[in-house]
Structures are given as C-alpha cells and as structure tokens.
Amino acid sequence: MTVEMDPEVAAAMAPIAEAAAAQTPPPAGDWKTRRAAVDELIGAATGGWTPPADVTVTEHAATAEDGTSIGMQLYRRDGDQPGSLAVYIHGGGMFLCSIDTHDPVCRAYTHLSGVPLLSVDFRFAPEHPYPTSVEDVYAALRWAADHAAELGVDPARLAIMGDSAGGGMAAAVALMARDRRGPALASQILVYPMLDDRTTTPDPEIEPFAMWSTDDNITGWGCLLGDTAGGPDVPTYAAPARERELSGLPPAFIDVGQLDIFRDEDVDYAARLQRAGVAVELQLYPGVPHAFEVFAPDAAVSRRAMAARVRALQSL
C-alpha cells in the first residue's frame, strides 16, 4: 500500500517540493549548505505568520558550566500569571536554526496556551559539539528553577519542551534532571523529537516526502558527535533513545508524523517510557512529514497538532 501525503499539506508544500526537485541536494556531511538553506526556508515559512499582539518578550541570561552567558527569551501573554513555565528548545538538527527562526512558533504557543515559554539560545554543533548544547539547556532549566519566585512560577510546574533536535535535547535534559536530582519536571513535551543517532537507513516509503532526510540526519549527528555517531559509545544525553532505564521520568507528550523519518524511533521511545511506568500521550498524525505544521499551518491536521500541544502546555 502506497503512503500518500495529506492533501492540504501537500498543496501547501507543493512550491517547496517543486523547488527541491529542481536542485541537487547537498551530500551528507555538508552542514554549511544545509544551514544556509534551511534557515532561509524556515524563516520564509514563519515570516508570514501574524505575530499575536498580546505576547511580550523579555531578555534574560543563564550562566553555562564553562562561564559562558546563554541568552534566553521569555514569552509571556499579557496579564497572565499562570504559575507554570515551559523551557523551550528550538529544532535544527543540532547545527542550524535559532531562537530567531523559532520566535513566531514560541509566540504562537504562548498566545494560544497562556503558558510562558523560556526559549534558550544554546550553542550548537559543529562549532560546539556534544555536550555543549544540552549542558547549555540544562543551565537554562536550572536558572528557571532558581528564579521561579521572581518569575511568578511554581517550581513544581516546570516543563521542558522542544521540537525536532530540540525535542531530543528536551528528552535528554529530562534524563539529566532525573539523574542529577535537578529541578523536578512536571512534563516533557517532545514535538517530533530527534532521539536516535542510529537512524541512518532510508525508508523508501518516507524518503520521497521527507522534509528532514536521512542524509540530513547523518549530517546532524555527525556535527554533534563526529566519528562516534552510530558507534557503541554514544552517551544517552546525546541520543536519549540509547537510555535503557526510563523509569522515574516526568510524564511525556510526544507527537510525530507518519511521513517523518523520526516516526519509528519516537513511537518506540513512547512505548518504552510506558513500559517503564511513565505516563505517555502519543500523537501519530497520518500522511504528514517533519515540520508539517510550520509549512502548512492552516491544514486541519496542523490545527489538530497545535491544539494538542497547547493542551499539553495548559495541563501544567
């Protein structure tokens, strides 16, 4: 049986597909070409979103373990004091995008949910390989917990949230917080997370639709881990799918599209969390690729996905 893309998503993404068909994709490992192209693509997609007028953004900074100042942006809906907070980690395959490319996304989540988001400007690979990025985010989580009172946040209502590579780092930070007896997390909200460096074999049914291809994935993990990617000694804080003991983690919300190369690793992680006694909500959306809601925000399936994520935030 042939898998088909959701018609509304396919229509919205047709110009991207046509442009891609006319170009030769860069080889695996070429992170510079990918960084420039994807940053432009994401920026063009979200640049047309109308920013909500009721969201205020303030600048903050945490101090990383090596003394580096890590910039953060706090998104808050005007007049709201919900008492909860989600530390947000942007996607980008470990080596691209930024808090700027994801600014419209953070504004949308805050506007729709009323829950403040703290977006982290972590350092990424290959300029800063593992463990810099995940340690930067953990420092931001510690900062949020330490400053909870002045932020009007209940430290028992902190969540970690991220999309794609940011979702993978969110899962890793949840592991770190458990293992280090750090801030207690109320939830981990993982949006099509990038969890497993061993996802390197193309699926012929998914690859023609992939907005994040297997070669992209090999590039990202190579940037983060170098020659150790795919080998026997990859740390679980880099690739959370490698963690064997998943008990004691916060409740998880995970979503992924049927045409996303992360589908199987995400579904497997959700099942393993459940077997470890962790409360899990898994949303699997038919006929959509990676980042479908970014490129087709008005599609019915995108609206359902956004509504489910907003509900997960509001449950904090």
The catalytic site residues sit at: 164, 260, 290
How far apart are alpha carbons 180 and 296 in whole angstroms? 40
* Helix and strand element counts for the chain (H, E): 10, 8
Pairing of strands 85-89, 117-120: parallel
Structure tokens, 219: 């590039």
Rounded to 5°, the CA angle 42-58-124 comes to 45
Long-range contacts for 313-316 (Cβ within 8 Å, ≥24 apart)?
A: 313/84, 313/86, 313/109, 313/113, 313/115, 313/159, 313/161, 313/189, 314/113, 314/114, 314/115, 315/187, 316/82, 316/84, 316/85, 316/86, 316/115, 316/157, 316/159, 316/186, 316/187
How far apart are alpha carbons 136 and 150 in whole angstroms? 21
